[in-house]
Amino acid sequence: MALNGRSVAYDISLFETTAEQRAEEQRRVYRRKHNVVSLPEEDLIKNRRSKRNPVKIFTGVVMGAVITVTVAVIIHGQVQLTELNQQISNASTALSDQESLYTQLQMKIDSKLSTDKVEQYAESQLGMTKADSYQKEYIKLSDGDKAEVSGDQSSNIFESIAQAIAGLWS
C-alpha cells in the first residue's frame, strides 16, 4: 500500500516528535520542577514522624491481652495435667505396694493354715488320729434322692388347686 508514493510501514518520520510537541513537553517539565513548595525544617520533622492511631494502639493492646490470656490458660491446663498425672502415678505406686503386701500376708496365712499344720495340731493338741478303714462306713443309695415336704394336711380344696397350679410352674 502506498501513500503519496511512500510505504507507510517504513515511514519513521511518523514517529518523530515535532518541534511543537517538544516545546509542550518542556513546558510541562518546567511547571513540575518549579511547582515545589518548601517547608521549614520543624514542619519536615513533624511530617516525617509516624502518627499514632488510637484505634490501632487499642487493637494491638487487646490482641496482646488475648494472646497473653490464651497462653496463660494453656500453661495452667498443662500444670493441672502434670499434677493429675503425678497423683495417678503415686496412686499406682501405692496400689502396687498394697498388692505386694496383700500377697505376702496371704502367703503367711496360707502357710499357717496348711493341711500339714492342721493335721499336726489335731494330732498333738486334740489327740485325734486319722480314720482307719474299719472305721469307715459306706452307704448305698440306689433309689435316688427324694424330698418330702411335711406340713399341715388340713387344707381346703382351693389351696390344693393353687398348689397344683404352682407345681406346674416350678
DSSP for 27-78, please give it: HHHHHHHTT-----HHHHHHHHSPPPPHHHHHHHHHHHHHHHHHHHHHHHHH
> Which pLDDT score is estimated for 1?
46
Mean pLDDT across the chain: 80
C-alpha cell at position 24: 509542550
**Is it the case that residue 114 has pLDDT exceeding 80?**
no
Which of the four pLDDT bands, split at 50, 70 and 90, describes residue 14? low
Could you give the CA distance from residue 162 to residue 105 in angstroms, rounded to a whole number?
A: 56
Could you give the CA distance from residue 75 to residue 82 in angstroms, rounded to a whole number?
A: 10
pTM, two decimal places: 0.38
> Which pLDDT score is estimated for 5?
54
> Which pLDDT score is estimated for 81?
95
Could you give the CA distance from residue 85 to residue 94 in angstroms, rounded to a whole number?
A: 14
Mean pLDDT, range 137-141, rounded to an integer = 75
